[in-house]
Amino acid sequence: MSGSASDSSIPRIKYREAAHHDANTLAEVHPVLRQVYLNRGITQQEQLDRTLKNLPSYQSLTGIESAVRIIKEAIQTNKKILIVADFDADGATSCAVAIRGLKMLGANNVDFVVPDRFKFGYGLTPEIVDVALELSPDLIITVDNGISSVEGVAYAIENGCQVVVTDHHLPPKKLPNAHAIVNPQLINDEFPSKALAGVGVMFYVLLALRASLKNDGVFEGQSAPNLANLLDIVALGTVADVVPMDETNRKLVHQGILRIQASQCVPGIAALLRIAKREPDRVVSSDLGFAIGPRLNAAGRLDDMSLGIRCLLTDNEQEALNIAEQLDMLNIERRSIEDDMKQDAYKILASFNVKENQQEQWGVCLFDEHWHQGVIGILASRIKEKLNRPVIAFAKADNGDVKGSARSIAGLHIRDTLDDVASQHPGLLKKFGGHAMAAGMSFAEKDLDTFKDAFNQAVKKRLNNQVPENVFLVDGEIPDNDINLNLAETLRQAGPWGQNFPEPIFVGVFNVSKACIVGQKHVKLELTTQNTNRKIDAIYFNVDNPDSVIGLAKVKVVYQLDVNTYMGRSNVQLMVRYLELVD
């Protein structure tokens, strides 16, 4: 019945466990929200602080002093600074923050390049260095990439460039020989938040740079630039990259959202919100993740991410709107390609099930020679949600290689799993990298079957032969009278919610008054509460078999409490995540 569960694995509903607390803990918070916070380990009011005053200091970031010294000297001597970005939303926002921030701090000679994923692949490769050298840079700063770019960094230095790497991906055993590396994931780095996105790392570099310039007296007699004005872009990149929403990221995202709500964001974000039909004053983190992020990402997936970066860099409202419209068209095209690929994937999965003696799929690998390189990451994510297994989707690359994009499940570190494969099969993987929940790799197409077996065994070992449960972790039941607009608004504004700090979901039993299919794969419902006989609207998106919902009389529903605003009027609505028949 669920749109996210496989037929062979009906989800189990499990209540979250609350942190140890006493009766006075968070006593002033609404009881439902209080339970939500306790379920996420929040037991002190201080943990709910979303101001910037207690952000961790940049001083504990390894390499930050060297990076600042090099960048500061480049600004003071008007050297050419070139930002080398990644081709996803985190890379685009990191690049925009770097360029806007450096210009605020006095840099007059800043430009950027972003690799075309279809020509150059990921990171500071020697090939993208050749493209960069055409712009005659003195200093290259990588954003959201570079930690694995041993060859590219060496090549850039051989050609007379200084290189500062800023990244947040897990470091390989051999680091590039850059002039400075700033990455909270470095071994022995003491920065308390390991969850910063690439855009967060670059923002911290700018904070350190401003402090150093201030200490030098550069802003004597004037106010130092307010880097908090960049937080709308920092928030977008942080949410779009689905990094853990720890205390630091929650502060950065919340402050960025406040700026968007106050219409103090860059024209590009305002234009993307307008295209996505989102009201700026009502924006929350899920809007950044599901409405803005995909449109920005579409440029890097199908075309050229420099289009997305230009959208974030322009101060011209009309130009921003023109680019946002182009990004929207690319996103529509991306969705169409994704739908076709998803149908292909379902056929491949069906063939797995009919093969005799098919080994159990601990880690699922899917390949079709016609699949689009730029969309395999989304495809892997969709199939992962359906199967509750780690999934890698592959597409053809150049020179007889395949490229894979991996998405993982809770409890399985996908980048470390690939490291296991590389250790067991030296030379199999040509490149790989990533973090806990997502990773990428490339190798020869002829080795695909070898890799599939190796990956399957590596996943099985990491899961200790325990089949991962398909579980909905819920925050409890909401009393009938509390299912109202006031609580929905309270929960909406209590975030920012995200990875490792998930949006609250609840469970309840309802009678079904009405149900109809809308848009082919969505179901609109009118539910009635058990105790008070109140009618409540509900919507169930992307149902695999919507006909199966029609005609049910009584259901158990896993849902998010949401606000539906239409024609200036708001009402409470349940966003159904899963439902099942109650006898």
**In terms of domains, do 395 and 270 share one?**
no
The percent of residues in the chain predicted with pLDDT above 90, rounded, is: 82
**In terms of domains, do 489 and 423 share one?**
no
Amino acid 6: pLDDT: 38
Instruction: Look at residue 374 and tell me whether its pLDDT is greater than 60.
Output: yes
Whether 296 maps to a domain, the answer reads yes
Q: What is the CATH number of the domain that holds 198?
A: 3.90.1640.30
- Mean per-residue pLDDT, 347-368: 77
Amino acid 9: pLDDT: 56
> Distance between alpha carbon 369 and the CA centroid of its chain, in Å?
27
Taken in order 266, 268, 269, 275, the sign of the CA dihedral is positive
Contacts of residue 126, defined as CB under 8 A and 6 or more positions apart, other chains included, come to 151, 152, 155
**In terms of domains, do 219 and 366 share one?**
no
Number of Cα atoms under 13 Å in the Cβ half of residue 547: 0
Q: Which helix (H) or strand (E) holds 458?
A: helix 448-462
Neighbours of 508 (CB within 10 A): 21
Q: Which of 423, 439, 462 is the last residue of a domain?
A: 462
Question: What are 210's two structure tokens?
Answer: 């401003």
Whether 46 maps to a domain, the answer reads no
- Distances in Å between the alpha carbon of 206 and those of 22, 94, 96, 535? 42, 11, 12, 52
Question: What are 532's two structure tokens?
Answer: 């008070």
Whether 380 maps to a domain, the answer reads yes
Kindly indicate the confidence band of residue 359, based on its pLDDT and cuts at 50, 70 and 90. low
Amino acid 415: pLDDT: 92
Q: Which of 462, 493, 509 is the last residue of a domain?
A: 462
Whether 534 maps to a domain, the answer reads yes
Kindly indicate the confidence band of residue 353, based on its pLDDT and cuts at 50, 70 and 90. low
**Residues β-bridged to residue 94:** none
Instruction: Look at residue 574 and tell me whether its pLDDT is greater than 50.
Output: yes
**In terms of domains, do 123 and 190 share one?**
yes
Kindly indicate the confidence band of residue 399, based on its pLDDT and cuts at 50, 70 and 90. confident
Calpha distance 38→68 (Å, rounded): 40
Cis peptide before 496 (omega within 30 of 0): yes
Query: Which range among 18-22, 177-181, 393-397, 535-539 shows the weakest confidence by mean pLDDT?
Result: 18-22
Q: Which helix (H) or strand (E) holds 257?
A: helix 247-261
How would you write 14-52 as a 3-class SS string?
A: EECCCCCCCCCCCCCCCHHHHHHHHHCCCCCHHHHCCCC
Instruction: Look at residue 119 and tell me whether its pLDDT is greater than 90.
Output: no
Strand pairing class (569-581; 535-540): parallel
Amino acid 492: pLDDT: 93
Calpha distance 17→38 (Å, rounded): 8
**In terms of domains, do 364 and 454 share one?**
yes
Instruction: Look at residue 117 and tell me whether its pLDDT is greater than 90.
Output: no
Q: 455: closest CA among 476, 429, 483?
A: 429
Kindly indicate the confidence band of residue 1, based on its pLDDT and cuts at 50, 70 and 90. very low
**In terms of domains, do 435 and 321 share one?**
no
Q: Which amino acid is at 128?
A: I
Q: What are phi and psi of 61, to 5 degrees?
A: -80, 120
Calpha distance 339→372 (Å, rounded): 12
Instruction: Look at residue 327 and tell me whether its pLDDT is greater than 90.
Output: yes
Asked if residues 148 and 169 have their Cβ atoms less than 8 Å apart, the reply is yes
Amino acid 356: pLDDT: 44
Instruction: Look at residue 8 and tell me whether its pLDDT is greater than 60.
Output: no
Calpha distance 493→75 (Å, rounded): 40
Instruction: Look at residue 352 and tell me whether its pLDDT is greater than 80.
Output: no
What does the angle CA 537 – CA 538 – CA 541 come to, to the nearest 5 degrees?
Answer: 150
Amino acid 5: pLDDT: 35
pTM of the full structure: 0.92
Amino acid 357: pLDDT: 44
SS3 category, 395: strand
Strand pairing class (391-396; 401-407): antiparallel
**Number of domains within the chain:** 3
Whether 253 maps to a domain, the answer reads yes
Instruction: Look at residue 466 and tell me whether its pLDDT is greater than 70.
Output: yes
**In terms of domains, do 284 and 383 share one?**
no
Of how many residues is the chain composed?
A: 583
Instruction: Look at residue 4 and tell me whether its pLDDT is greater than 70.
Output: no
Calpha distance 173→426 (Å, rounded): 14
**In terms of domains, do 483 and 453 share one?**
no
**In terms of domains, do 391 and 495 share one?**
no
Q: What is the CATH number of the domain that holds 519?
A: 2.40.50.460
Amino acid 156: pLDDT: 98
Digit-coded pLDDT (tens) for 470-520:
889 999 999 999 999 999 999 999 999 998 999 999 999 999 999 999 988
Q: 329: closest CA among 353, 291, 360, 299?
A: 299
Cis peptide before 468 (omega within 30 of 0): no
Digit-coded pLDDT (tens) for 428-464:
999 888 888 889 999 999 999 999 999 999 999 999 9
**In terms of domains, do 125 and 194 share one?**
yes
**In terms of domains, do 85 and 122 share one?**
yes
**Residues β-bridged to residue 405:** 393, 440
Asked if residues 558 and 577 have their Cβ atoms less than 8 Å apart, the reply is yes
Amino acid 11: pLDDT: 84
- Mean per-residue pLDDT, 529-557: 92
Q: What is the CATH number of the domain that holds 367?
A: 3.10.310.30
Whether 573 maps to a domain, the answer reads yes
Whether 350 maps to a domain, the answer reads no
Q: Which helix (H) or strand (E) holds 391?
A: strand 391-396
Q: Which of 279, 308, 329 is the last residue of a domain?
A: 329
**In terms of domains, do 476 and 458 share one?**
no
Digit-coded pLDDT (tens) for 15-60:
999 988 988 899 999 999 999 999 999 999 989 999 998 899 999 9
Q: Which domain holds residue 480?
A: 12-17+472-581
Amino acid 431: pLDDT: 87
Q: What are phi and psi of 268, to 5 degrees?
A: -65, -45
Q: What is the mean pLDDT of the chain?
A: 92
Whether 6 maps to a domain, the answer reads no
